A and B are shown apart, each in its own frame.
Chain A
Amino acid sequence: PKVGSRRNGRSGARKSARRIPKGVIHVQASFNNTIVTVTDVRGRVISWSSAGTCGFRGTRRGTPFAAQTAAGNAIRAVVDQGMQRAEVMIKGPGLGRDGALRAIRRSGILFRFVRDVTPMPHNGCRPPKKRRV
């Protein structure tokens, strides 16, 4: 978390004035949902969208098509602000990984890297118990 923007005053009113040519697109793809967040290079969020906010509900949120629409929504909001280049960071094991990447490719934003940043513990916290279904 980058602290220090407080000195500039509240940035909420200045949101429309920001012109960011380069940013980072984070895709968090879990099994039940896909969240696409567009931030600047430092990590401050510009806009976000998810499969749930796009109108899908329940099991359909986890589908790659829902991820596609979420990515499309998020990028559309940001292309108006003048973003041309981006980096893509994909997190999580869900089905939305491919769908979101496809939509990002089709949106016309130039991206140089696609990275997988799924967090891997070096044997850290104990995960929840096995499901007995």
Chain B
Amino acid sequence: MAMAMAMAFSLSKSLSSLFLPSRSQPSLVSPPSLQLPVKKASTRVSSSLTTADEITAVTCPSLAYANTLFFKSGVYNAQVVVAEDEPEEKLLSRFRRAVFLAGVIQECRRRMFFESSQDKKKRKAREASQRNRKSCRGCDSSVKSTHLEAIKRFWKPYVVRRRPQPKVSAQEETPKKKDDEEDDNWELPEGDLS
């Protein structure tokens, strides 16, 4: 418990406030193509971000995927450091963006009512399709498949659960059937009956 807290504290030291882990995706390590270039004056961007994340992802995986940040003053999901002369609208939009990146509102709505395993499956499928569509939106169709493959390859070490692949099994079945039909001997043997 103390070790976990110490890890969290060291982790929080090297993180800036906007690079927050999100619950739905493996956090803290984002593929270079999907990384959002964030340039804000009042937030610190740590250059040692990836090394600290990799370390925690390996040593304490449950902590690495947690959605909360632990600081001396308390646990929080998102934090925005306010400059002195910041216009109100800018602060609001920055805070809203931080909260959106942390996935707080989505998570709240999900946990308001109980969701059965069916609902959970539907939600996960919806999220996955949205993620795939979003990541391929910028590229044309020729690059889409390779992009998807690249993403799958990148996320593969983090995906623990097995995904059902009905399409592949269907494709496997049809060539098998054809082979069986070809092997069947429908023709009569040559030669006379004598």
Contacts and interface: CB of A to CB of B under 8 A. Distances in A.
Nearest to B68: A120
Nearest to A24: B73
Contact of B88 (A93, A105, A115): A105
Interface string A110-132: 11111111101110001111110
A8 B4 CA distance: 37
A120 B84 CA distance: 31
Given A93-B104, A101-B95, A102-B92, A115 B79 contact: yes
A102 B91 CA distance: 9
B149 interface: no
A111 B108 CA distance: 26
A102 B81 CA distance: 16
A75 interface: no
Measured as residues with beta carbon below 8 angstroms from the partner, the interface class of chain B is: 20 to 34
B173 to A, nearest CB: 38
Contacts of B79: 113-116
Given A98-B96, A113-B80, A120 B67 contact: yes
Nearest to B102: A116
A117 B80 contact: no
A116 B76 contact: yes
Interface stretch (B7-15, B27-35, B111-119, B186-194): B111-119
B148 to A, nearest CB: 30
6 contacts: A87-B73, A105-B88, A115-B74, A120-B67, A122-B66, A127-B112
Interface of B: 66-68, 73-82, 84, 88, 91-92, 95-96, 98-99, 102, 104-105, 107-109, 111-115
